[in-house]
Amino acid sequence: MEGVSREWAWGGSDGGGVRVCVVDSGVQAGHPLVGDVEQSLTTVDNGAGGVDVIACDAEDRAGHGTACAGVIRSLAPNASVSSVQVLTDGKAGSGEALIAGLAWAIDEGFDVINLSLATTRPALSARLHELADRAYFRRCTLVVSAHNRPVHSFPWSFASVVSVASHDEDDPMAYYYNPAPPVEFHARGVRVPVAWPGGGTLRSTGNSFAAPHISGLCALVLAKHRWLTPFQLKTVLFLCAGNVAGRFGGTHEPVR
């Protein structure tokens, strides 16, 4: 991918035509920093030992998903944003809800899925790995935040996802490649101004808020280059990272 630069990657892009799904606690539609929500789904116990994914009002009692959606919108204002609620009001959730909600989003064919959560339950590892690979081969880019603590968790550690942790710079477009995986990229995640239910804002810190910065960038790139596979998109992110641009075939152009 000779000559890849930030100008080539996303210069002039607003994310239009790209569908992003936030798998989280829900997203409040109509928030000034979020706007419209294309589809809003939630996960419910079907009474037969399984979980169904059904339509619901675009609400968010926990705030976490709305915060992530607002970050995505701030970078890619014309991308379509949808929501699948897999977390409860207390920002916890069952493994079965996560599996069902993520599977629905992948099968629905979204271009980018933002997953600002992780699980430490080993019993979920194999199924989450299968879903991560399914997304990868269906040309769906799965952006996942690393756990905030140094514990064994997933799906962020799988090679088929784009894994993200935070840095403390204020520039929302500043991100860096991590030469010591499994975390691949670092994006803004300290005292990030985020949307909050009720129309307000606050500042939040954590890897959860770094991931949607990368999801927003992915939407910008895909709006210009629809042909990119998840592997190629990750390569573009690598070549345009602040500590890589100008090397390995990329060029350094500080486009905002």
Work out the mean pLDDT of the chain and round it to a whole number: 93
Residue 49 has a pLDDT of 77
Check residues 254 and 14 and name the one with the higher pLDDT. Answer: 14
Judged against a pLDDT cut of 90, whether residue 53 lies above it is answered with yes
Q: Which sequence spans correspond to the domains of the chain?
A: 14-227
Over residues 192-206, mean pLDDT: 95
Confidence at 39, pLDDT banded by 50, 70, 90:
very high
pLDDT tens, position by position, 202-247: 999 999 999 999 999 999 999 999 999 999 999 999 999 999 986 7
Please check whether residue 189 is in contact with residue 165, taking contact to mean a CB–CB distance below 8 angstroms: yes
Strand partners, 167: 188
Q: What angle do CA 192, 41, 68 make, to 5 degrees?
A: 5
Q: What angle do CA 192, 58, 10 make, to 5 degrees?
A: 50
pLDDT tens, position by position, 55-112: 999 999 899 999 999 999 999 999 999 999 999 765 666 889 999 999 999 999 999 9
Domain 14-227: top CATH class: alpha beta
pTM: 0.93
Residue 173 has a pLDDT of 97
Strand partners, 193: 203
DSSP H or E run through 54: strand 51-55
Tell me whether strands 175-177 and 192-196 are parallel, antiparallel or unpaired. Answer: unpaired
Residue 3 has a pLDDT of 81
Of residues 152, 167, 170, the one with CA closest to residue 207: 167
